[in-house]
Amino acid sequence: MKRIVFLSGTRADFGKLKSLIRIVDEHPGYEAHIFVTGMHLLKTYGYTLIEVERAGFSNIHTFSNHTSEISMDLTLAKTVEGFSAYVKQVEPDLIVIHGDRVEALAGAVVGSLNNILVAHIEGGEVSGTIDELIRHSTSKMSHIHFVSNEAAGRRLQQMGELEESIYVIGSPDIDLMFSDDIPSLTEAKEHYQLDFENYALALFHPVTTEIDKLADHALAFVDALKQSDRNYILVYPNNDLGSSAIINAYKTLQGHPRIRIFPSIRFEYFLSLLKHADFIIGNSSAGIREAPYYGIPTVNIGSRQQNRSLHKHILNTSYSVPTILSAIEDTEGLEVSKKQAFGSGQSAKQFLESLESEEFWAISHQKQFKDIDG
């Protein structure tokens, strides 16, 4: 039996990994383990370890890697230390990591330096800010790549990755989006005690490369929500550098009749609320990736999602209040054609099929760089 360790540091990446963990956990040939760290263990952000435990998985290990908001480098170092000790106990055959967080980079570093096969989910994508540097660095430290589309796969080949190490499986969260596990809107509203008939979702994350202007950008976002006549379900940012400035700006919204604020929303409930929202606003990847699948307009603010897969139903704005308000108005009556740029909801099945192939486990732990011909 092969042991597979999944590393999760945030509510978002657990939502992405969940279908993959489940299909592995239910297979008699594999033993799934989950290393839970990062935001999951922070009360400020909803202590979402509870959501991991509620999923019913066994073999959950927790490790607190938090240092402080301003020391992502030390958080990386602490995660490497904790994860290194863990894998020496578990001795996994494969480590699975996701995305562009320092926890994922730590997982890739530990795996590679301990001669353990590392698989990276959703590498090869472009965005901007520090996230892109971390994502590409994580890909280079990984042996296997499960990408969301052909474009991401081509970028990895540009980075010298071998074609045979790249598997196009789509984004795993799409599996969940169209599954029977999504609660009804009534259930979601009851769970979070929401009485809005119509609403938009709002999420605004730090852009670490714009840290000097972040407080002003957060206040502009808050002012736009205040001046708008819409109802909003506002979710806390991730815990990157600058998150405290955003949370401080949100304090001015406490008790606002049209705005409800939550440290975290369980991913299944978030998807139900997204599916029925008037639009989503902010700079979350959910506006770029998940919203188009449900045909929901996106007001995308600033540079955080720069260069990602965009289309005409994503309204891009600057940080100025008038342009944000104008984009909000433009969402009314906007006809949105549903777009599938990140797979068709078969990621877990394709992931398992890859694990079942002899070629997968034969991939060399010794990385090679493939030059582009010509």
pLDDT tens digit sequence for 246-292 = 999 999 999 999 999 999 999 999 999 999 999 999 999 899 889 98
- Residue 343, pLDDT above cutoff 90: no
Give Cα separations from 219 to 150, 256, 264 (angstroms): 38, 15, 20
Report which of 340, 338, 322, 341 is spatially closest to residue 330, judged by C-alpha positions. 322
What proportion of the chain, given as a percentage, has pLDDT over 90? 75
Closest CA to 301 of 274, 323, 286, 329: 323
Mean pLDDT, residues 330-355 taken together? 84
At 179 the pLDDT is 86
Give the DSSP letter string of 242-284.
Answer: THHHHHHHHGGGTT-TTEEEES---HHHHHHHHHT-S-EEES-
Domains of the chain: 2-178+345-362 (3.40.50.2000), 185-330 (3.40.50.2000)
Give me the percent of the chain exceeding a pLDDT of 70. Answer: 96
The gap from C-alpha 35 to its chain's centroid, in whole angstroms, comes to 16
Average pLDDT of 89-103? 96
Spatial contact of 246 and 239, defined as CB atoms under 8 Å apart: no
User: pLDDT band at 307, cuts 50/70/90?
Assistant: low
**pLDDT band at residue 140, thresholds of 50, 70 and 90?**
very high
Cβ burial 242-255 (10 Å sphere, 16+ → b, else e)? bbbbbbebbeebee
Place 302 in a pLDDT band, splitting at 50, 70 and 90.
Answer: confident
What pLDDT score was predicted for residue 289? 85
Give the range among 51-55, 67-71, 87-91, 352-356 with minimum mean pLDDT.
Answer: 67-71
pLDDT for residue 374 is more than 60: no
Q: What is the pTM of this model?
A: 0.89
Burial of 156-183, coded b for 16+ CB within 10 Å and e otherwise, reads bbebebbeebbbbbbbbbbbbbeeeebb
- Compute the distance between CA of residue 8 and CA of residue 143 in angstroms, rounded to an integer: 19
Instruction: Please choose, from the candidates 180, 200, 221, the residue with its C-alpha nearest in 3D space to the C-alpha of residue 321.
Output: 221
- Residue 4: phi and psi, rounded to 5, are -120, 125
Q: Which residues of 115-145 are buried (b: 16+ CB within 10 A; e: fewer)?
A: ebbbbbbbbbbbbbbbbbebbbebbbbbbbb
- Region 204-221: what's the mean pLDDT? 92
What is the pLDDT confidence band of residue 330, given thresholds at 50, 70 and 90?
very high
Q: Round the CA-based radius of gyration of the chain to a whole number and report it.
A: 20
Whether 309 has a pLDDT exceeding 60, the answer reads no
What confidence score (pLDDT) does residue 134 get?
A: 93
